[in-house]
Amino acid sequence: MTESASPHSTARDWTYVATRALARLHDVDANTTLVRLFHGRGKTHPGFDDVTVDLLGDVLVIALFADEDETVTELGALLQSGVAAPALASNDQVRAIRGCMMQLRRGRQTVAETLWGEVPERTEGVEQGLRYALRPQGNQNVGLFLDAAPLRSWVRERADKRNVLNLFAYTCGFSLAAIEGGARKVVNNDMSRPALDWGVENHELNGHRGDAVAYVPHNLLKSWGKVRRYGPYDMVIIDPPTNQRGSFNAEKQYPGVLKQVANMLAPGALVVVCLNSPFLGRNFIENQVARWMPAARPLGWLPNSEDFPEAEPERALKVGLYQIR
């Protein structure tokens, strides 16, 4: 692969991607089947800025972020050959892979195609011993954001005996981590009832007590009473979408969220402030927290996952850690 390879060239050397993806696949821990195997989106692989490869349970998913039609059939075939290679045959997780699909992503639109094997509507993946229900054919949101794995570990290590509020909970990944870490209670809020129902399924998969988890399907921008009544909170995770039409705009609405959360915190509470915007940097979080949550003492920034290398870290997921004085 040459440094000058075009991101949309039809003559790309897909062995470059396959070799790196298969090497990471070979190293996957036995307790983990949820991994970004190749992260071209971080712009650290010239010529492949538009390509990612993920291990999602027992399937491989190649995502191609392109404005024009292009095929990754060759990459799929290389991965299929690599999965069956004797050098990988000793890895049970590799032998269990049953299919590979391509997602061609154009903005909010996604076209999916199975390249080989079987890609089910529903499957399961494991991260650090926790099971997650996945829908690999479910457009762009398969059920878990892999780049947030370090934060799930951080929450799990610090949740013991805490009353936790998980805002913009999606399928409740942080909630699973908190309960597994010994949280006294977790309150999950999201405006999507189906997403929270998915979270219920995830907790059931892991045998978690139902009375330790609450689900609040509600638009916080209309009122906060439904989540305030469960407080005060000893830990709050704020992980909103950057700019979701009709739902949330980080630049405009993050300040109001911080202002409301500041009134629901117990002394010593931990607050996690996430931002996944390529246009807003760490200084945005720092300035907003300083203004709207003045009692919060910065603890630093959570390092990003090693599986998501970034040439421009400020454009990637940013996770600010704080504690109330």
Q: Where are the beta strands (DSSP E) in 227-317?
A: 233-238, 243-244, 248-249, 265-275, 296-301
| Delimiting residues of CATH 3.30.750.80 domain(s) in the chain | 15-134
Residue reference for tokens 């454009």:
315
Read off the pLDDT of each residue in 206-227 and give the average, rounded to a whole number. 94
- Specify the range with the lowest mean pLDDT, choosing from 1-10, 174-183, 237-246: 1-10
Q: For 72-130, how does the pLDDT look when each residue is reduced to its tens digit (9 = 90+)?
A: 999 999 999 998 765 554 454 445 789 999 998 876 677 889 999 999 999 999 999 99
CATH number of 146-324: 3.40.50.150
Q: Which of 42-56, 175-189, 235-249, 274-288 is the least confident region?
A: 235-249
pLDDT at residue 7, as a whole number = 45
Angle at the Cα of 149 (from 27 to 137), degrees rounded to 5? Answer: 85
The overall average pLDDT reported for the chain is 90
Give the E-state strand segments of the chain in sequence order. 34-39, 51-56, 59-65, 99-106, 109-117, 123-127, 130-134, 163-167, 185-190, 213-217, 233-238, 243-244, 248-249, 265-275, 296-301, 318-324
15-134: in CATH 3.40.50.2300:
no
pLDDT single digits (tens) 108-124: 677 889 999 999 999 99
Query: Distance (Å, rounded) from C-alpha 314 to C-alpha 87?
Result: 38
Q: What confidence score (pLDDT) does residue 215 get?
A: 98
Output the CA angle 151-155-323, nearest 5 degrees. 100
**Residue 32 class from Cβ within 10 Å (0-12 exposed, 13-18 middle, 19+ buried)?**
middle
pLDDT band with cut points at 50, 70 and 90 for residue 296:
very high
Asked if 22 contacts 79 with a C-beta cutoff of 8 angstroms, the reply is: yes
For 306-323, what is the mean pLDDT? Answer: 95
Is residue 199 scored above 80 in pLDDT?
yes
Provide the pLDDT confidence category of residue 286 given band limits of 50, 70 and 90.
very high
Where are the CATH 3.40.50.150 domain residues in the chain? 146-324
